[in-house]
Amino acid sequence: MSAIDTLPPLRDVIAQHGLSARKALGQNFLLDLNLTSKIARAAGDLTGSDVLEIGPGPGGLTRGLLAEGARHVLAIEKDARCLPALDEIAQAYPGRLTVLNADALQVDPLAHLTPPIKVVANLPYNVGTELLIRWLTPADWPPVWDSLTLMFQREVAERIVAQPGSKAYGRLALLAQWRCEARIVMHLPPSAFTPPPKVSSAVVHITALPEPRYPADPVLLERLVAKAFNQRRKMLRAALKGLAPDLEDRLLAAGIQPTDRAETVGLEQFCALARSLKS
Ligand code: SAM
């Protein structure tokens, strides 16, 4: 019998510890351990890796990660009510689970882990995008993590993997795809969660590339993309007005028509424009 089987079913854990879901904390729990193990497997081979999990809640995904062989899991949970349930898991897997009762936005947990590091989380929806942007924009590249396997609202997942010309394409797609490979590996209906959220969800698997796909200064590229998509329906010669006196020439040199809109411009062209604006 594996260690996962010695722990009580998650419904019992929730009842025993009075873990009624709180909306303000984005609490939609996964209670099916087959599903949480499947999500853990979507992160690849966990043996020999440290795993960062944000928002373990009652610990369904945590149990999946440990059962799938993670060397060590560091789980950051804001809701102190979940700690006794997580402690039971820590006891079933001695020395392999550390739980930190903290707000994930206020700590830098990656610094406590030993590479190779994988981040795997069913993220609280209210902080998911902000955490993703932090992980995608570290001070140095490559980042300390090898991969991010993250549950998002389906609409956010689609924005991460979107291609030019689609409605979902924008800052998040460019940020994720510039230095990473990003794909949706699983779709989940609201009924997979307790309580069910209003929208569908999807798991995105993101792996860090050793180098950016195209050279560009990260700060400049980020600023340029933010400005371009701030007024996504405007032509770029208007949306980017004020960035350079000879903006139209620089757009053309980067292979962009001044009348193009941000949503049709690819990553390679944005990087070329960022390089041109730096010179
Ligand atoms: N991982 C569990 C699962 O799959 O069943 C729970 C996922 S639930 C969508 C999100 C979890 O994140 C909740 O347990 C919630 O308390 C926690 N959470 C919300 N905001 C947080 C924050 N800022 N820092 C850390 N945890 C947070």
Dump pLDDT digits (tens) for 201-257: 999 999 999 999 999 999 999 999 999 999 989 999 999 999 999 999 999 999 999
What's the pTM?
0.96
Choosing from 13, 20, 28, 79 the residue with most ligand 1 atoms within 8 A of its CB, the one to mutate for a pocket test is 79
Q: How confident is the model at residue 164 (pLDDT cuts 50, 70, 90)?
A: very high
Candidates 83, 81, 143; CA nearest to 62 is 83
Mean pLDDT of all residues in the chain? 96
Known binding residue 79? Answer is no
- Number of Cβ within a 10 Å radius of residue 121: 26
Amino acid (one-letter) located at 168: A
Say how many C-beta atoms besides its own lie within 10 A of residue 157's C-beta: 26
Residue 127 CA to ligand 1 centre (angstroms): 9
Cross-strand partners of 118: 51, 147
Domains of the chain, first to last: 10-208 (3.40.50.150), 218-278 (1.10.8.100)
User: Would the ipTM clear 0.95, i.e. be above it?
Assistant: yes
Question: Which atom of ligand 1 is found nearest the CA of 82?
Answer: 14
DSSP state of 46: -
Q: For 264, list phi and psi in degrees, rounded to 5.
A: -105, -5
Q: Is the CB of 77 under 6 A from ligand 1?
A: yes
Tell me which residue has its CA closest to atom 6 in ligand 1.
57
Long-range contacts, stretch 213-219, CB < 8 angstroms, 24+ apart: 213/177, 213/178, 213/179, 213/267, 213/268, 213/271, 214/178, 214/267, 214/268, 214/271, 214/272, 215/271, 215/275, 216/178, 216/270, 216/271, 216/274, 216/275, 217/274, 217/275, 217/278, 218/137, 218/141
Is 103 flagged in the annotation as binding? yes
